[in-house]
Amino acid sequence: METQGGITVQRALELPGLRSGLPEVLAGADRLNRTVRWVHAGEVPNIASLLKGGELLLTTGLGLGTRPAEQRAFVARLAERGIAALVVELGPRFTRLPASLVEAAKSAGLPLIQLHREVPFVSVTEEIHTEIVNGHYALLQQAEEVHRRCTQALLGGGGVPQVLAILADFTGDPVFLETPGGQLLYAADTPGAEPAVADPLQVWEGLRGGREAQQDGPPANAVLVDVPGGGQGTGAVRARIVLLAVSSPLQPVHRIAAERAAAILAVVLMQARQEEELAARGRGDFLTDLAEGRIAADDAPAQARVLGFRPGAGPLLPVVMRLAPELSPTGNWAVLARAVAEELSSLGVPVLLGVRPVEGRVPLLLGLRSESERTAVADRVAAALRAGVERAGLAGVPPAGGLGRAGAHPPVVVVGVAGGWAAASAGLRHAAETATAAQGLGDRPWYDARRLDIDLLLWRLREHPDLAAFVDRAIGPLREHDRTSRPALLPTLETYLAHAGRKAETARELHLNRQTLYNRLARISELLGTDLDDPQTVLALSLALRARRHTP
């Protein structure tokens, strides 16, 4: 077993050199898992002053002294130095180790081994040192493999979350990235973590409490590794990796791997300034876990406080903004997160904003004072979200600065139902699905999730062949007509149904005189073989027009 960059006393006794001496453990049998950092041989009484700790000391006993008091003092000094074990070779000096020596070793908790046969100390030293060096090399190889995987992830388009996920997978424990001041930026959980393992945010809350109680340093079960590059000085810190032993003990190789990862993160953070994106991704992961039921409603408030969200006693309002696929930023989520956050800061209500780059979503929760605020706050949130998208250069309509993408669909903002944490979980999930289903609808400042349930149902049926067949039966002749003839009749039918069959309003919106509209409606009835005044026909056509966005 490798530990602390060496081998254990037990492993040293199993190697051929010491094994040939017929070792007998007289004291400290329960501490043979101590680390042997190095091997030293010596026969002088003051040998302890020459040691640093972690050594396995080989001796024939010439420096132990002849009186019990000298022998006890000799063992006490070695124990104070923190050596791994004392190995005494029996021979001319001792045929059996004295009881005073054995009792002193037992009292000090120092492993004491006597060798019944003579062994060449130089061979034992060389053998153990070779084993230790090989162990160091194996540790470095493991750390280099983590470094290689991290580099490969970055070359494949990944970023800081992928690097932290690789490190969490390697350590078997959650990994955190924090600011120099201790604010959480991102939490990476271990893949396939057992349900009994606490949520990373709960772990972080406990870690933070432990560190506040220990002002003189990190908890004993944690490893902190600085990510350099936060300022002008050579010792400046940009962020800090935190490893915490939750499922398994931390090993020296974990620190080495974290140091390799920190070097990579330093370059990434300096090049892309990903702090804002990381914090927003962490909040996005929390909101997604809440929406998917991976976080219980009872646990959510405490975890949200860790992320800086402290709403009052009023209801929570779930909102989801979804960018069209052509708008999803590549490596630009930091800009988007910062711009949207700045726009939302003027709302005057608590906001928890996250980003989900893979899905192209921006989920958020807002703390309302009362349900009556829902519409007014939704109007302001939608305006702030769209303003942030424009500032990030991702709007469908180019802003004054010309940074938008012409011809792109505008972002879709969906507002869910206000309520408590349980309602927020369901509301976020519903709003996220509805925002996807609403892609391609007419541009509105925001959509009420409750009013798009039909669109959501049709979107869920998009893969079913019966939906495409239904659309083809209902409006297939009009689609075929519009592919080959003018004027196009589908927009006329869509506008007519949107105005509930009111011909005057339909004509005004289409800028047609009434006779032209009547002629078009008659042509539509002829092509479809239906009566546009029949309620069942109107219902079927309305559903087909909505469903055609989800069919070929």
More confident residue, 5 or 28: 28
Answer whether residue 154 shows pLDDT above 50: yes
What is residue 336's predicted lDDT score, i.e. its pLDDT?
78
- Residue 333's alpha-carbon distances to 73, 263, 340, 346, in angstroms, are 65, 22, 10, 21
Q: Give the closest residue to 50 by CA, choosing from 37, 59, 62, 41.
A: 41
Rounded to 10 deg, the angle between the 121-155 and 252-272 helix axes is 30
Ranking 114-128, 233-247, 495-509 by mean pLDDT, the lowest is 233-247
More confident residue, 210 or 401: 210
CA distance 478 to 527: 7
Ranking 8-12, 18-22, 342-346 by mean pLDDT, the lowest is 342-346
Question: pLDDT tens across 540-551, in order?
Answer: 999 998 888 888
Helical segments of 438-534, H only: 453-460, 465-484, 490-498, 503-510, 514-528
CA distance 262 to 527: 67
More confident residue, 521 or 274: 521
| Residue 392 and residue 404 in contact, taking contact as beta carbons nearer than 8 Å | no
Burial class (CB in 10 A: 0-12, 13-18, 19+), 380: middle
Q: What residue ranges define each of the domains in the chain, with the CATH number in brackets?
A: 2-119 (3.40.1390.20), 156-272 (3.30.450.40), 303-448 (3.30.70), 465-550 (1.10.10.2840)
Question: pLDDT tens across 350-380, in order?
Answer: 999 988 887 888 999 999 999 999 999 999 9
Structure tokens given for 268: 């990434």
Q: Which helix (H) or strand (E) holds 367?
A: strand 361-367
Mean pLDDT of the chain: 84
| Residue 159 and residue 358 in contact, taking contact as beta carbons nearer than 8 Å | no
Residue 115's φ and ψ, nearest 5 degrees, are -100, 125
| Residue 117 and residue 21 in contact, taking contact as beta carbons nearer than 8 Å | yes
Question: pLDDT tens across 179-200, in order?
Answer: 887 778 888 877 655 544 556 6
